[in-house]
Amino acid sequence: MVKWDLGDIYSSLDSKSLEKIFSELNKNVSSFEKNRSKLNDTISGKEVYELICKLEDISNIESRLGSFVGLKVSENTSDHESQALSSKVEQFLTEISNKLMFFSLWWKDIDDENAKRILKDLGKHSEMMGRSRRFNKYALSESEEKVMNIKDSTGSSAMINIYEIITNAYTYDFNGKKGLSREEVSENVKNPNPKLREKAYETLLGRYGDEESVLGEIYRSVVLDWVNEGVKLRKYSSPISVRNLGNNIPDKTIDALLNVCRKNVTILQEYFRLKAKILKMKKLRRYDLYAPLNDVSKDYKFEEAKGIVFNVFKDFDDEFYEKAKRMFDKKHVHSDIQKGKRDGAFSLSIVPELDPYVLLNYVGKYKDVTTMAHELGHAIHDMMAEDKTIFDFHAPIPLAETASIFSEMLLEEKLLKDGMEKDEKIDLLATQLDGIYASIIRQAYFTLFEIKAHEMIREGCTVKDLNKEWMRNLKEQFGNSVELNDVFQHEWKYIPHIYHTPFYCYAYAFGNLLVLSLFNMYKKEGKSFIPKYKKILSYGGSKAPGDVLKEVGIDISKEEFWQSGFDVINEMVENLKKELE
């Protein structure tokens, strides 16, 4: 087991060194603010480039400072000194951000002709600055934008806060215990006991059904606000187009993705029939979708797990292995279990020239091995883009899981080939397919529901109509492979993303299916695929996802590409069939 050393960020951060950093930032920001008068239609591209480079230096210091404090808090979330330091730094950085805001507001308002002239001289920053103007077509006047900001704080944002306050306050009586949280009850949807699984769903979703008048009205308000602002005032072509532009993805690409998901639901339906067979059931009920198989998992010592992951990377590509090894050699990994440490796992990239930091909570289960591969994949992704700027070395949301999930798949493929017993293989394949349903098909169908719901609400539907639409949606997903139960008509109200981030869910389907499609290319092309894959990672966030993938011969607007991901899923189902023979 290992602990990280934060010395590569700062050797220490006592009060004296913190004040020195604050002073340096204030000095740099004051110097930058003196250029405000230069921001006019006659400023040269070279002058703007120099200003962005100054912003780059400021951002570098901000990121190091904020990340150091964040990592210290992650080590022990109950440490009062770290918490106090975090609050102090956060407040200071917010003040810095407000002082620098004038530059982005100027760039947004400058006319297209002068913007094009300036962009020619921005060098490494031209792509980022060009992307930042893609919303200009949909911008309103300054006074209207101010009204929108006020409206959001008391309108849709307030409604979402009410949803969160109401639903987070729910407590449940379950299995003889009173006042349980959502998390305490929801963990039973994977309980080996089918009666407890059923009761867990009935308890959770039933509560949302009891409150559907209020929750339905909140959703109606959120949707109408989204449509009125995005479509009626800003003139986006559709409600989902607002999200697509934010993700820098054309509408036709998301149309292709969703169409392919709909066409391939029968593959997962076949898996659900197989899972019923494994569980010795005639047919899965919706209650049983995430039912566990027999626990056949083994324990892995930390050094054993690290060796397995290293070997997976080395078999794939020497550079991947060297980068993963470097994370441990530089003590940028924290795996120890300790009191107060943040739960879960993450990879944090700070600045391009500094290797990321990875947090793990390693207890020795198979999931911990896959998590190690996953988070190191994230780290390698950002390390591959270390020649980019601080503004664009992070991959955008649709591409953010590319290396992490791909690394998991490399690990799983190796484990399936080497040294797994039959029951372990069945368990691993079933776990993979459960995850694929949850991260691809389920998320795609949430998005399809939202598209229809936004249309229905504009036409004056009721919450009961939305319930019926969700049940129709479920019937399309499952066909006759899963028995549906009435309480699931309330499931859509249980999904926070549908309320607070409309159309976000397709990003999960996009990212996971993209990796499956890339993995299919790898299996077909072998080692010749690796340079293409590394090129994708090396772009970080410096180009739009479609442009990045097009450079290596991939057209994500075509259904054929997305279909290749489902070919991998179909192969998994066929492999499971063989193991069950």
pLDDT value at residue 179:
92
Q: Is the pLDDT of residue 145 over 80?
A: no
Which stretch of 141-145, 386-390, 526-530 has the lowest confidence by average pLDDT? Answer: 141-145
Residue 534 CB contacts under 8 Å (≥ 6 apart), including other chains: 317, 319, 384
Q: Is the pLDDT of residue 298 over 90?
A: no
Q: Is the pLDDT of residue 470 over 70?
A: yes
pLDDT-based confidence at 157, cuts 50/70/90? confident
pLDDT-based confidence at 493, cuts 50/70/90? very high
User: What CATH number does domain 238-296+428-581 carry, 3.30.70.20, 1.10.3720.10, 1.10.10.10, 1.10.1370.20?
Assistant: 1.10.1370.20
Is beta strand 172-174 parallel, antiparallel or unpaired with respect to 177-180? antiparallel
Q: Is the pLDDT of residue 159 over 80?
A: yes
**C-alpha span between 13 and 65 (Å, rounded):** 9
Q: Is the pLDDT of residue 565 over 60?
A: yes
pLDDT value at residue 295:
62
- CATH 1.10.1370.20 maps onto the chain at 238-296+428-581
Give tens-digit pLDDT for 6-56. 999 998 888 889 999 999 999 999 999 999 999 999 999 999 999 999 999
Q: Is the pLDDT of residue 153 over 70?
A: no
Interval 256-282 mean pLDDT: 96
Q: Is the pLDDT of residue 124 over 60?
A: yes
pLDDT value at residue 164:
87
pLDDT value at residue 142:
66
**Half-sphere exposure for 69 (CA within 13 Å, toward CB):** 23
pLDDT value at residue 297:
62
Higher pLDDT, 1 or 269: 269
pLDDT-based confidence at 139, cuts 50/70/90? confident
DSSP state of 564: H
pLDDT value at residue 224:
94
The share of the chain scoring above pLDDT 70, in percent, equals: 99
- CATH 1.20.140 maps onto the chain at 7-133
Interval 200-215 mean pLDDT: 96
Give tens-digit pLDDT for 350-384. 999 999 999 999 988 888 999 999 999 999 999 99
DSSP assignment of 7-72, as one string? GGT-S---HHHHHHHHHHHHHHHHHHHTTGGG-STT--HHHHHHHHHHHHHHHHHHHHHHHHHHHH
Q: Is the pLDDT of residue 487 over 90?
A: yes
**C-alpha span between 562 and 566 (Å, rounded):** 7
Higher pLDDT, 395 or 147: 395
Q: Is the pLDDT of residue 419 over 60?
A: yes
**Half-sphere exposure for 255 (CA within 13 Å, toward CB):** 7
Picking from 209, 187, 212, the residue whose alpha carbon sits closest to that of residue 200 is: 187
Which stretch of 298-307, 315-324, 376-385, 470-479 has the lowest confidence by average pLDDT? Answer: 298-307
Taking a C-beta distance cutoff of 8 angstroms, is the pair 323, 346 a contact? no
pLDDT value at residue 375:
96
Taking a C-beta distance cutoff of 8 angstroms, is the pair 355, 385 a contact? no
Q: Is the pLDDT of residue 296 over 60?
A: no
Picking from 481, 246, 287, 510, the residue whose alpha carbon sits closest to that of residue 398 is: 510
Interval 95-120 mean pLDDT: 91
pLDDT value at residue 420:
75
pLDDT value at residue 225:
93
Interval 90-114 mean pLDDT: 89
7-133 placed in CATH 3.30.70 = no
Interval 224-249 mean pLDDT: 93
pLDDT value at residue 461:
97
Q: How much is the mean pLDDT over the chain?
A: 92
